[in-house]
Amino acid sequence: MTPAEALATLRAAEARDGRIGVEARRDLLARLADALLTHAEAIAAALDADYGGRSRLETLLADVLCAVDAARYSRRHVRSWAKPKRVAVPYPFWPTRAWEEPVPKGIIGIMAPWNYPVQLALVPVVDAIAAGNRVAVKPSEGTPRCAALIARVLEEALGPAIAATVQGGPDVAADFAAQPWDHLVFTGGTTTGRKVAEAAARNLVPVTLELGGKCPALVLPGADLARAARDILVGKAVNAGQTCVAPDTVLLVGHTPEAFAQACRATGIGLPETALANEAQAARLDRLAEGAALERLAPDAGPRHRALALAFPPPGHPLLREEVFGPLLPVLALPDLPAAIAWVAERPSPLAVYLFGATAPETAMVARSVRCGALVQDRAVEYAAFPALGFGGTGHSGSGRYKGIAGFVAFSTNRARVVHGKWSLSRIFDVPRKKFAPQLIERLVRKR
């Protein structure tokens, strides 16, 4: 199925069957959660094969259960989200009634990446279905076995009148982005995200972009260094650092790189459970690390199954500019918190900033000085699994938010409804106007 065929099929279903009611949405969400659990082990095996070594437990937690939790959460709350909301009417228009009602946008296109191919394809599907839309999904060609399973899950749970799956490589992805969807969701790199946004703009398609950036971890003087090192490495080890919200660079204030490295070695966290996804990813990381001193926290288990490594790059090194997206963790010592804030502010806004050991005044200083999608204290990455917490970036790290009510709102049009009474005070200004109307208007606009 081509992107155009998927769109045409779903448009025809929309015209034939009409809007999806709230109770039907709840049923679809329940079926989607059940289908994911039914195929959970097959998904884990498929991703293990696609990666050449993907942790079964990470797949079950970060891909399958994240999507299941999102479906169950939205199913519980969609009735209240979908209720119309009364809006105040100025007294000259009384007894007019006005309200806003969330209605589906229509057909939502979703483009998912390879790093969390199930979660990042199906959580937007959950939000779109909760809002009453139909969906077309373009899974990543980088995980072809998993893409085939996503298609199977969508067909079994939602059916061809609600969901379509489009598979293929970069040419198909470019065609997908160029279709006149009612909303387009893209998760991936900033460079590709810019191209997707440009393609969507030609059809005036609104977009949700979930991109990336250098998510810094600020370790401040009040931090327990042993605990901070452990919490940062736990977040970095998930999916071998191939996570858009993984700690990207550690900024040390009041601690030395040597002390931080010693604390990292003491954690015993060294070899991630998951390998690098492909040879191109491994080659990119090798190029990125050239010229930086590395300290591996364990032996590698293979060419693509690599240990976490601390990196100590010289000034101006690419590791301090480019998103790492792998098991390398640059470490940089800075003289004080203003210097750390300046380091973050000089770069494109990240998805997340992680604070360790921050006092209330320090937290407030960072909050008012730094632009980011999330400000998280004393842990990393986990917040992205909260189904009720809106997720998204700002600037180069993305635009728009999804998950929970944020996703419901993103994929709904808040339509205005008005019912006028037979008479209202405002009608005295109707044409042809009475003689006193101009004088009354003059009095109304006079400064009081």
Phi, psi of 311 (to 5 degrees): -120, 140
Residues 275 and 282: their CA atoms lie apart, in Å, by 10
Can you count the helices (H) and strands (E) in the chain? 16, 16
The phi-psi region of residue 417 (left if phi > 0; otherwise alpha if psi is between -120 and 50; otherwise beta) is beta
**Is 244 designated active site?**
yes
**Is 279 designated active site?**
no
Helix axes 22-38, 66-81, angle to 10 degrees: 170
Which residues lie across from 110 on neighbouring strands?
137, 185
447: exposed, middle or buried (Cβ count in 10 Å: 0-12, 13-18, 19+): exposed
Q: If residue 135 lies in a helix (H) or strand (E), which one and from where to where?
A: strand 134-138
Catalytic residue among 66, 146, 215, 244: 244
Query: Please, what is the Cα angle at 279 between 273 and 282, to 5 degrees?
Result: 65
Please tell me whether residue 82 adopts helix, strand or coil conformation.
Answer: coil
* Cis peptide bond prior to 432, omega within 30° of 0: yes
Q: Which residues of 291-308 are buried (b: 16+ CB within 10 A; e: fewer)?
A: ebeeeebeeeeeebbbbb
Quick one: CA torsion of 249, 252, 255, 259, rounded to 10 degrees? 10
Instruction: Identify the CA nearest to 102 among candidates 84, 86, 127.
Output: 84
* HEC-encoded secondary structure of 23-49: HHHHHHHHHHHHHHHHCHHHHHHHHHH
Catalytic residue among 14, 58, 66, 210: 210
Q: Active-site residue numbers?
A: 210, 244
